[in-house]
Structure 1
Amino acid sequence: MDERVKTASLSIISNSSLIIMKLIVGIFTGSVSILSEAIHSTMDLAASIISFFSVKISSRPADKEHPYGHGKFEDVSGVLEAVLIFAASIIIITEALKRLISGQEVNSSTLGFLIMFLSAAINFLVSSKLHKVAEKNDSMALKADALHLRTDVYSSAGVGLGLFLIWITGLHFLDPLVAIFIAFFILKEAANLLKSAFNPLVDVKLSDSEISIITDTISKYNPGYCGFHKLRTRKSGNERYVDLHLVFPGNMHIKKAHDICDDIEKEMRKSLKNTEVMIHLESCNDDCANCGLPNKSKCKNR
C-alpha cells in the first residue's frame, strides 16, 4: 500500500475514535466547547476520508484521460477540506453564542479537561506522523489533513484549559468563550489552507525560491547556449512542471544541443523532486547571427 494512503487511513481511525469519545463526554458534561470539538473532529473525519481517496487517486499513473497525471485531485481535496473547516467554525460559533446567552453550566469540568488533554496528545502524535509523510511526498492532501489535526491539538488543549479554569474559578461562561476563540483560530488556518490548495488549480507559478533553483541550474551550463526565455512553471499535486525555450547558436550540431538539454533536465530533477521538464530548442535568428559563444548578450533571456 502507498505510504500516503496508509497514513491517511491512520487519520480516519484516529478521528473516528475521538469523535465517539468527545460526543459521550460532551453530552455527559453539557460542555459546548467539548461538543464543538466533537463537531470539529467530525469535520476532520470527513477531511480524512477525502484525503484518503484523493491520495489513492493521485497515486495512479498518467492515462489517456489524464496525460498529466492525477495530481490535482490532491489540490481539489485541499480546497474541500478548507471549506469543511470554515463550515465547522461557523457551527461552533453559532452554538457557543447560544450557550453564552442561555448561561448553561458545565456539569463536570474535571472529566472534560482530562479528556481534552488526552485528545490533544493523540492528535499531536497523529498530526506529526501525517506532516512527516506529507513533507516527504510533497502531498497537499496530507498537509491539509495534518493541518486539520494540528488545529485540533490547539483547540483541544484550549478547551481543556478553559474547563480547567472553570474547575478552579467556577466561571462557566468561560466554556463558550473558549469555543468562540478556537473557532476564530480555526478560521485563520482554513484561510491559509484554502490559498495553498487553490493556487495550483489555477496554475500559479512555482515559488520564487523554486524558480531561483531552476534558473541557477540552467546557468550552470552557460556557456553552452545563447540564452533562454518563455520560462513557465506550475504545480499539480506533488508534481512540478517546467517548460522553457533554450537558444543555441545556429551552427551548433543538434545532438550537442540536445545533450545540453538532457543534462539540464537531469540536474533540475535532482534539485527539485517530482519535476517534469520540457525544453524547446531554438536557433538564433538574424539579429543574433554573431551569438557564437562566448559573445551571447543579444540572445540572453529574450
Structure 2
Amino acid sequence: MPYDAPSQKLNLSAGFASVSVAAVLVGLKLWALWATGALSIAASLADSAMDLFVSAAGLAAIVYAARPADDDHTFGHSSVEDLVSLGQAIFVAASGGLILWASVERLMAPSQQLTAEGAGIAVMAVSAGLTAALVLWQRRVARLTGNKVVAADMLHYVGDLLPTLGAILALFLSARFGWSRADSVIAIFAALLMLRGALQIGIASWHALMDRAAPADVVQGIAEIAALWPGVRGYHDLRTRTAGARVFVQLHIELDGAQSLEAAHAIARSLKRAIREAYPQTDVIIHMDVWQA
C-alpha cells in the first residue's frame, strides 16, 4: 500500500504543498524582518528557511524512496530518508545555534525599540494560518497513506507554530508596552526548541542508519501473529531492521514436515500477507524449517 499509485500521488501532493508553503513563508518573513528588525521574526525566518530545505529534501526523499529495488539496491532505496534526516538535523542545529548567539548578544546589549510591529504581526498571522492549513492536509495524507516522511514533516510544522505565535506575542508586547527585550527572550526559547528538535532527528536518523531494530511493539506484534498462525508449530530467529519508513523482517517458522511443499508455501504466504496487512511498511522474508517434536 505505501508505494501504490494513489498513495504516492497523495504523498507527492503533501510534499509539493510543504515546499510551496515554506517558500511563501520565507518571502513574507524576509519582508517582516526588514520592516521590524525583530529577532523573534529572524528566528521564525530561519525556521522557515530550514523548512524550505527540509521540505525540498523530504519531497526528493519521497520520490527516491518509492523507487523499486534494483541490481545495485536490492533492498530498495528507503535509507535515503535517514540520510536526508541526518542532513536536516545538522542544518537545524546550525540555524538554532546562530539564532541563540544573536539573541543572547542582543539581550545583553542596550534595549532597542522594534518598528512596524503592526505589519509584522499581520505577516506572522498569515504565516500561522498557512502553516495550520498545511498541517491539516499533511495529517490527512499521513493518515491515508501511512507515510512517515509526511507524518514527520507534519509534526515539524506543528512545532513551527510555536515560534510564529511567539513572534506575534513579542511584537504585541513591544507595541503595547514597549517590552522590546521580550523579542530576544522568545527568540532564545525558539532557538532552544530548534536545537532540541535537531538532537531528536539526528539520534533517530543515526539509529536507523545503524540498522536499529523495529520498535518493541512492532516486533512483539509480529511475534504474536506468527505464534498464533494456523499451521505454524513454532518460530525462531525473528530479526528486524529499519531503513527510512521501511521495516525489514526476517523470520524462521517451523512447519510439519509431513505436509506437501505446496501446503507449506501456502502457510508461509498467508503469514507474510497477514504481517504486511498489520504493518504495511514491512518487507517480510520467511524461512521454512521442519518442526522437530
TM-score, length-normalised on structure 1?
0.87
Separation in 1 of the partners of 2:90 and 2:151? 15
Counterpart mapping for 1:50-65 below 5 A: 50-65=57-72
Counterpart mapping for 1:30-45 below 5 A: 30-45=37-52
**Which digits, 9 at most, give the CA deviation of each residue in 1:90-135, with x for residues without a partner?**
1111121222223322112222223222211211211232243234
**Structure 1 residues 131 and 82, CA gap change in structure 2 (3 angstroms):** farther
Identity of aligned residues (%): 26
Which residue of structure 2 lines up, in the alignment, with residue 148 of structure 1? Answer: 156
Separation in 1 of the partners of 2:139 and 2:91? 19
Is 1:193 the equivalent of 2:201?
yes
Greater shift in the superposed pair: 196-205 or 180-189: 196-205
Structure 2: 5+ residue stretches without partners:
1-7
Structure 1: 5+ residue stretches without partners:
292-302
Query: Greater CA radius of gyration, 1 or 2?
Result: 1
Which residue of structure 1 lines up, in the alignment, with residue 3 of structure 2? Answer: none
Separation in 2 of the partners of 1:91 and 1:143? 27
Greater shift in the superposed pair: 197-206 or 38-47: 197-206
Is 1:158 the equivalent of 2:163?
no
Separation in 2 of the partners of 1:46 and 1:171? 33
Superposed CA RMSD: 1.9
Question: Which amino acid is the alignment partner of residue 262 of structure 1?
Answer: R
Aligned positions, number: 285
Which residue of structure 2 lines up, in the alignment, with residue 296 of structure 1? Answer: none
**Which digits, 9 at most, give the CA deviation of each residue in 1:233-261, with x for residues without a partner?**
12223322211111234444333322221
Which residue of structure 2 lines up, in the alignment, with residue 91 of structure 1? Answer: 98
Greater shift in the superposed pair: 195-204 or 130-139: 130-139
TM-score, length-normalised on structure 2?
0.90
Separation in 2 of the partners of 1:82 and 1:139? 20
**Which digits, 9 at most, give the CA deviation of each residue in 1:202-260, with x for residues without a partner?**
111111221222112112225x3332111001222332221111123444433332222
Separation in 2 of the partners of 1:64 and 1:232? 24
User: Contact 2:113/2:178 (CA < 8 Å) preserved in 1?
Assistant: no
Moved over 6 A (4+): none
Question: Which amino acid is the alignment partner of residue 14 of structure 1?
Answer: V
Which residue of structure 1 lines up, in the alignment, with residue 250 of structure 2? Answer: 243
Question: Which amino acid is the alignment partner of residue 64 of structure 2?
Answer: I
Question: Which amino acid is the alignment partner of residue 170 of structure 1?
Answer: G
